[in-house]
Structure 1
Amino acid sequence: MDALRTRAPRAGGSAPRTARAVAALVCCTALAAGCTGSPGPSGRDTRTTAPAVEPMAADDLQSAYQKVIRQVLPSVVQIEAVDSLGSGVVYDDRGHIVTNAHVVGDAKTLKVTAANSEEALTARLVYSYPEQDLAVIKLDRVPAGLKPAVFGASEKAEVGQIVLAMGSPLGLSSSVTQGIVSATGRTVSESRSDGGTGATIANMVQTSAAINPGNSGGALVNLAGQVIGIPTLAAADPALGSAAAGIGFAIPASMAQRIAGQIVKEGKVVDSGRAALGITARTVVDAGYRPAGVAVVTVRRGGPADAAGLRPGDIITALGGQSITTTTSLAEALAAQQPGQRTRVTYQRAGTRRTAEVTLGEQ
């Protein structure tokens, strides 16, 4: 997972030949099917002919791309904060825009540029939720033609599904890249600029569509014109320390809708859906300086860990059957759990191995 814990760096500033290949394959198969059999007793040819197959032509696929782009791109904006540049997705007709928390940073006011417009609009921060790397901002004035996006069911995303990533990579507003859904259900931890671990996000959509600096907060869109994810991360090549081509991650649309909906209605997140132990912790290393567990630093009074008998100084080594060696692995294990779920925690106290049943709380 270390190779995945890299946020797409902030931007500060082909023709689809696959369709042709598939068409050729289908045609060859149809021809082969038509060449089987032999003449019947009467000398008549009794061979059967396979029904014609009409694969999507390259022009049809191109038309589908263009239709989706015309439909969705007006819902994707460029966001400029004090020291970062990113993207956002129009959430409703009142000017609410959902984006990444790391795009907003510490800014309270931001500049927003709508697609196909040079006018910089002003927006204010409604609420930022770094734990899920999501934030909502609101335009001071809603311009004519600003169109809310249609959010789809990200849980229905399938590997191999064609997707388009829309945003402002490197400040190039209204840019579009294409790829497929490479995997679903990924749990990925972000890295911070100070070298620490940022948000740990579950159920992310992995995509081969290019996620470049400035794409963060934009839209990952299916060919039905639905936003199925918020592009957030690009993986890093551990050997080169640079972005790994074709490996990007998007926060699932269902999660973005849940968090954004609460922010719009309540002004904050009131139900995160994220499991928690109720502790602060740090990674500990063994004699060979290898990560060996997570030391409990503080325990929230009345919280899940407190109720289970954990104390400061305990070293957690497993949660729910998953080995724990770092704070990142603990965060990833918790991301796979739900508040209220009962799970087993394995820990060491004064060199003695112990276990405890913990009913997880909410972050």
Structure 2
Amino acid sequence: MQQLTYDDIKAATDRITGHVRPLAIAPIDSETVRTAHLGTVGGRSEEAPCGEVWFALEFMQHTGSFKARGARNFIQAHREAGTLPDSGVTIASGGNAGLACAWAARQQGVRATVFLPTVAPAVKVAKLRALGADVRIVGAEYAEALEACAEFTATTGALASHAYDHPLIAAGAGTLMEEIHARIPGLDTVVVSVGGGGLFAGVATAARHHGIRTVAVEPENCRALNAAVEAGRPVDVPVDSVAIDSLGARRATALALDAARQDGVHSVLVPDSEIVRARQALWDHHRVAVEHAASTALAALTAPAPYGYRPSSGEKIAVVLCGANTDPSDLASGLGDHS
């Protein structure tokens, strides 16, 4: 089984520092979380006794998500090794990884061909084209786009990147945890959304090195990692969620499963209704517009039992808001302006 090491994270940190945006963080008042993120649902108001809560605002990263870290690490490592072909790089993506690959390729003067499923949001497609990528839309699911990408690689010799299943991609994502650790002394727990598991594998590997637990959060109907932990091996799962464009992987990676088997990792599920509610709450009360994949992490702290994660008294938590490539028009029905 593939493994990711802390040395991989450190090498990625050295490689991409100065080429990606430093992490921004924001403290969130504990009352926000204690009241299930400012409000009740169906008359419910739950108490959660956690201590400090911080948002890691990674949606402010280049291309609007954490994916820029792994893409920069991947392409720069190949540049340094002299293994970037003239035919450029190619990737299959729900959108965010493609954006990051196109951005990193342009930074290195390399061509990028990006394969997307039809569920990819139009906002992501438009951004890809603006970055100069050759965009090809194939199939209804990520797996179909991945198959088309593999065929393209075989016929053109392009360097195949991956949305999450590559040690260089996961290690680049793990640099986020290095910044969180440096910015929030005494952190107990990091909460992160999981799709295929690249971000999770990187973050969990770095977190374990620093003695920090990781909470891996998935939609209940996109539970690739949770199912892999249950089965003891990566298995295919059906995917059906409001966050499918970013978290809709059919199968978790071996890297992610290895990370999930380590001490200090908790795998939890949340329903779509709570993902939607957390996203709306971020807008209503913080004027932060994120995609559903990002609000999935917050939903772990606000969803009712038996879903989510229940922190202990005084626990210091960082919630990774991983991306904001979303159409915010459906958020306008929130609380509005109270001037």
TM over 0.5: no
TM-score (norm 1): 0.23
| Structure that is richer in strand per residue | 1
Query: Greater RCO between the two (CA within 8 Å, min separation 6)?
Result: 2
Structure having the higher Rg: 1
TM-score (norm 2): 0.24
| Structure that is richer in helix per residue | 2
